Structure 1
């Protein structure tokens, strides 16, 4: 028996951090959506109660450090599953990029094993389990467009954003999400207008959506990472309608309406970083062909 799931990358259209909670996590308010850059996650039934991770990408761990492994283990232990699974991950999303690649893989495993192991769990229950694995996993279970609150686990689904092209550029330098949050000066930040972003999405107003793009984590990441700032400026100079860093970085994305301009941005960025992608905005749950 075999299940194949698509695990799309996410971008943050709006990312706000409200305050630090007693549990030391930060209370966030994020509008997130998916783009057409996806890992493919294949799951094969095993009779023995083992979890095997396979990937040709050397940056993908094959043990409990991998969120996909932890997702399988959590389902196995919670529901006393006697079977095992071999999980093959075809990695297309850059690793440690602010695009939730690992979280999306974990969400794909939750959805896939729900079928493979015949658990009959609701999407809401899968998202609840996802929150035990990582902050973005709950959103990735829904695989659409949503407002995420709390630590990121409180999900309210939204309509898909206006259709457009997305140019993703990931610099070579990495960013530590933990250190970014630790360096945030909450009382000095300009906060996004999350409600206005949601309104723009409901009205399918592309120009207003572009005007509302904002990510408070840029206030930490950009000054410490000049390469990220340089890529952002290059996108602006090359004619993107709007540009923002996704998550804690380092990936920057630009939005444009027309493919010809998307390709112009792509060509202008190739000299700045190796990992550049031109994809469509998704924002809706999609199954594999």
Structure 2
């Protein structure tokens, strides 16, 4: 397929799935080397979709701008087969990622941390995380197949996965209700987009490629913001996500908005926000990968 044919196909896909004008769709399609691809398959199970979205949300809040080697959520590769999802994690982030996902009561925060209802089971060099909120599960492995270490439990934390392995406790039930509290339409867009982010690490990790880090944060349970500098232009990353079907199936009016004046793109209303800074935001005295590797992830986080 010629480059011009691909540009036209991508512009047509953008127009078909969004209300972005044709001229803007063409501009996005020309912005980089994004080729139209068959989308990574979504899960068809609502519980699995919710679990994957909660995992994305939790890892984004946990790592923020503390990634290693450009793994935005700690994920290097995702193997998908129907509802099955295997996440291959950056080895230097893997144990912290596991610890952040497991639910625990934080007496200092006076609230739940981690994903409510998640329970771990070792399976060789992998860890299977099953949810008590339905039959959903995700499998974790390190990218180099090195073993997971036992996650550290911090002062004031009570590990709920260990204290109550088969029964949801009240803080978990409250956490699940909080996750499900947005209006159904907003909740559906959020869960679909955050699940798609988790299943497309190679795409979203482009934002962190130049410095090895980017910034992820959220507002409550409603969204995910990815903010970066010095990496792909906003148009390029947005076009890449749209080329891989990230906005497919969303209501067209809210599927994607491109706001160049503020260097922002919105997907699913505001469930996924892309924001590129015009100047470098990484200080020259940033900690080196070697120094970071010498610290425990938990101590650096706090």
Report the TM-score when normalising by structure 1. 0.27
| More helix, by proportion | 2
| More strand, by proportion | 1
Report the TM-score when normalising by structure 2. 0.26
